[in-house]
């Protein structure tokens, strides 16, 4: 049994959801007002029998993990970790149950955080770094909030402290706290004479550390390497402290460095996180998308910052975020800016941040002279791919009109250039449509087939015996609804020895919940065979209609042999369709 299934077995979905939503018993289920949309009539259903929820209004649905993900804006792993802790199961970074080591790693890093804080705030070693932070305008309240600390200028002070606490050198090395010199065989502290920035996850545990020198020596910053509990590309600095404010404002400001994040927070701009100076990742983008609609990138204004802005914005847009870019002409970074100009001026820049396409348009217009042929070609090659990602044709046209005005290009020429670009890159998708049947309206046959496919999936989801029957009798392409086919194909690949089927896919889990809660068909072999027969009847009828069209063409062309061949096939299909109808009647008794 998988770890997620073990956790779900220990948690009752009604109990969990009741702590967020007032539920009322309704038959075998519970109903309430949906917490995911503006619900006035109870459309939110919770099934204690199936341990699923589904909203018939906004179509959200899933299991207990999905609910916690949605209500608390968590990733799958984060929700799994929180639920695991409710029932005494610790989860490691891979989403598997910890053997105790992961829990120990958290405890060690939390201890080290307290140690560094104590050195900074309570010892003579912390005097110089405290003065440094004071010159940077950092107050004690902010130090406490971000749990800042100091690593003294010693080769083994932390190592000795941890050894006295019973922490092995092996554990210290695994967590990146010490470095093992392979040539000499000696170990030494990684962080020495540096301000320490604990990197904390949303549950409050320290995953790793960043360290900054007190002068201008290099490297200015060093970080914990990858460890069993720390993946730099999966976490945003400051999110633990700022998550609630980001959700409240529905806006996240992304900066590069630790001090940028801390300075803005202290200045009252608390909806801020830092990428920690590395390339922005998809995981970080998804973490922000879950909690905010408006993402503003406010990176450093140097050349490296310009490149980071474009890379970061592209990652964010790929995961579906709305991205704006904030730039300024004076001061290098947000920390320096807010200390010199104050938060009001900085917030004005944030409010005037440009949508990504506007920012790129201005950047490329200044880079290339679009009044020349060469400059125009270079501009088109860089901007048109970005413009193609905008789904609204009216917005595309507005940008093209703006470019036409700026470049003094006739609009019709620009439209043609863009169309040529689009056509040259357009992917052709083969779309198979269902022919209209003579005995039923097109809308009816589509709805009927979708309903039968949904019923098939209901059988497959609820009993491996039914899944095996469907597998033997039908091919996966029997499902014309893309999501149904995807769920069915995943079912075919699922190892049921490890437990019941589940998926982390947000879209598919909602569909599964909707099917399981709303479908009322009897789960029996007779009913399954009837469903298969009815679906086969629709497929055969479609084939018959296609053959009738071919027959009409053959008759018009005078092809006697082809006409006879098609007429024979149509007659065979008609008999088969009729026999399916007879089988249905015998099943119904």
Confidence band of 249 (pLDDT split at 50, 70, 90): very high
- 580 versus 346: the higher-pLDDT residue is 346
Give the domain CATH number at 341: 3.40.1360.10
Q: Is the pLDDT of residue 434 over 70?
A: no
Give the pLDDT confidence score for residue 588 in this predicted structure: 44
Give the pLDDT confidence score for residue 77 in this predicted structure: 83
Confidence band of 437 (pLDDT split at 50, 70, 90): very low
Q: Is the pLDDT of residue 221 over 90?
A: yes
Confidence band of 190 (pLDDT split at 50, 70, 90): very high
Same domain, 468 and 418: no
SS3 content of the chain, % helix, strand, coil (to 5): 55, 10, 30
d(CA 241, CA 200): 9
Give the pLDDT confidence score for residue 558 in this predicted structure: 79
Confidence band of 498 (pLDDT split at 50, 70, 90): low
Same domain, 376 and 308: no
What mean pLDDT do residues 24-34 have?
90
Q: Is the pLDDT of residue 189 over 90?
A: yes
Between 211-220, 303-312, 392-401, the lowest mean confidence (pLDDT) is in 303-312
- Residue ending a domain, choose from 86, 117, 145: 86
Q: Is residue 236, in this structure, part of any structural domain at all?
A: no
Give the pLDDT confidence score for residue 575 in this predicted structure: 67
Q: Is the pLDDT of residue 13 over 90?
A: yes
Domain count, the chain: 5
Task: Tell me whether strands 194-200 and 206-212 are parallel, antiparallel or unpaired.
Answer: antiparallel
Q: Which helix (H) or strand (E) holds 504?
A: none
Same domain, 142 and 186: yes
Same domain, 286 and 406: no
Q: Is residue 433, in this structure, part of any structural domain at all?
A: no
Spatial contact of 173 and 167, defined as CB atoms under 8 Å apart: no
What mean pLDDT do residues 512-518 have?
86
CA 511 to chain centre: 18
Q: Is the pLDDT of residue 548 over 90?
A: no
Same domain, 218 and 254: no
For 17, 157, 222, the CA distances from 150, given in Å and listed in that order, are 43, 12, 13
Confidence band of 403 (pLDDT split at 50, 70, 90): very high
d(CA 287, CA 235): 8
Give the pLDDT confidence score for residue 435 in this predicted structure: 30
Same domain, 219 and 121: yes
Same domain, 452 and 584: yes
Q: Is the pLDDT of residue 98 over 70?
A: no
Same domain, 108 and 196: yes
Between 6-15, 171-180, 354-363, 557-566, the lowest mean confidence (pLDDT) is in 557-566
Q: Is residue 166, in this structure, part of any structural domain at all?
A: yes
For 367, 369, 378, 430, the CA distances from 375, given in Å and listed in that order, are 9, 5, 5, 37
Q: Is residue 262, in this structure, part of any structural domain at all?
A: yes
Same domain, 159 and 276: no
- Percent of residues, the chain, with pLDDT higher than 70: 90
- Residue ending a domain, choose from 352, 387, 407: 352
Between 68-82, 240-254, 432-446, 503-517, the lowest mean confidence (pLDDT) is in 432-446
Q: Is residue 547, in this structure, part of any structural domain at all?
A: yes
Q: Is residue 434, in this structure, part of any structural domain at all?
A: no
Q: Is the pLDDT of residue 400 over 60?
A: yes
Give the domain CATH number at 179: 3.90.980.10
Name the residue range of residue 119's domain. Answer: 101-230
Same domain, 568 and 446: yes
Q: Is residue 49, in this structure, part of any structural domain at all?
A: yes
Whole-model pTM above 0.75?
Answer: no
Give the pLDDT confidence score for residue 148 in this predicted structure: 99
Q: pLDDT of 38-52, one tens digit each?
A: 887 888 999 988 899
Same domain, 173 and 70: no
Spatial contact of 491 and 545, defined as CB atoms under 8 Å apart: no
- Residue ending a domain, choose from 202, 230, 258: 230
Same domain, 257 and 217: no
Q: Is the pLDDT of residue 344 over 50?
A: yes
Average pLDDT score over the chain: 85
Q: Is residue 58, in this structure, part of any structural domain at all?
A: yes
């Amino acid at each position: 049994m998988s770890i997620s299934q073990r956790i779900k077995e220990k948690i009752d979905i009604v109990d969990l959801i009741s702590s967020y939503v007032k539920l009322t018993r309704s038959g075998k289920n519970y109903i309430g007002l949906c917490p995911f949309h503006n619900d006035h009539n109870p459309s939110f259903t919770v099934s204690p029998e199936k341990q699923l929820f589904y909203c018939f209004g906004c179509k959200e649905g899933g299991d207990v993990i999905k609910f916690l993900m949605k209500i608390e804006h968590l990733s799958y792993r984060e929700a799994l970790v929180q639920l695991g802790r409710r029932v005494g199961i610790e989860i490691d970074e891979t989403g598997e149950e910890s053997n105790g080591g992961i829990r120990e790693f958290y405890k060690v890093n939390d201890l080290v955080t307290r140690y560094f804080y104590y050195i900074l705030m309570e010892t003579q070693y912390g005097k110089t770094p405290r003065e440094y932070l004071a010159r940077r305008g950092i107050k004690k309240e902010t130090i406490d909030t971000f749990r800042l600390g100091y690593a003294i200028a010693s080769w083994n002070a932390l190592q000795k402290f941890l050894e006295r606490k019973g922490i092995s050198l092996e554990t210290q090395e695994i967590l990146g706290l010490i470095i093992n010199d392979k040539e000499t065989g000696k170990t030494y502290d990684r962080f020495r004479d540096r301000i320490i920035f604990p990197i904390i996850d949303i549950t409050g545990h320290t995953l790793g550390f960043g360290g900054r020198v007190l002068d201008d020596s290099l490297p200015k910053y060093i970080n914990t390497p990858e460890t069993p509990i720390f993946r730099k590309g999966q976490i945003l600095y400051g999110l633990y402290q700022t998550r609630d404010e980001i959700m409240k404002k529905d806006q996240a400001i992304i900066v590069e460095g630790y001090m940028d994040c801390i300075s803005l927070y202290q200045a009252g701009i608390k909806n801020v996180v830092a990428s920690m100076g590395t390339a922005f990742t998809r995981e970080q983008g998804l973490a922000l998308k879950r909690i905010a609609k408006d993402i503003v990138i406010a990176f450093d204004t140097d050349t490296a910052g310009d490149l980071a802005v474009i890379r970061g914005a592209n990652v964010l847009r790929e995961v579906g975020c709305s991205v704006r870019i904030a730039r300024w002409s004076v001061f290098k970074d947000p920390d320096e800016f807010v200390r010199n100009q104050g938060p009001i001026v900085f917030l004005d820049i944030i409010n005037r941040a440009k949508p990504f396409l506007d920012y790129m348009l201005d950047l490329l217009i200044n880079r290339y002279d679009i009044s020349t042929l060469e400059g125009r070609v270079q501009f088109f090659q860089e901007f048109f791919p970005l413009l193609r990602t905008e789904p609204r044709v009216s917005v595309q046209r507005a940008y093209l009109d703006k470019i036409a005005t700026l470049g003094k290009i006739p609009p019709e020429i620009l439209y043609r250039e863009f169309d040529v670009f689009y056509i040259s890159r357009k992917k052709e998708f083969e779309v198979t449509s269902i022919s209209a049947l003579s005995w039923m309206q097109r809308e009816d046959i589509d709805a009927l087939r979708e309903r039968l496919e949904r019923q098939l999936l209901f059988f497959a989801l609820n009993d491996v015996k039914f899944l095996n029957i469907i597998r033997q009798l039908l091919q996966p392409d029997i499902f014309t609804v893309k999501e149904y086919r995807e769920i069915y194909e995943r079912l075919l690949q699922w190892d049921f020895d490890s437990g019941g089927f589940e998926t982390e896919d947000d879209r598919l889990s909602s569909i599964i919940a909707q099917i399981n809660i709303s479908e009322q068909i009897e789960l029996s072999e007779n009913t399954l065979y009837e469903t298969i027969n009815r679906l086969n009847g629709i497929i055969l009828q479609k084939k018959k209609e296609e053959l009738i069209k071919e027959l009409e063409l053959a008759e018009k062309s005078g092809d006697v042999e082809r006409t006879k061949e098609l007429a024979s096939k149509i007659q065979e299909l008609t008999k088969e369709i009729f026999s399916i109808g007879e089988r249905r009647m015998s099943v119904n008794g």
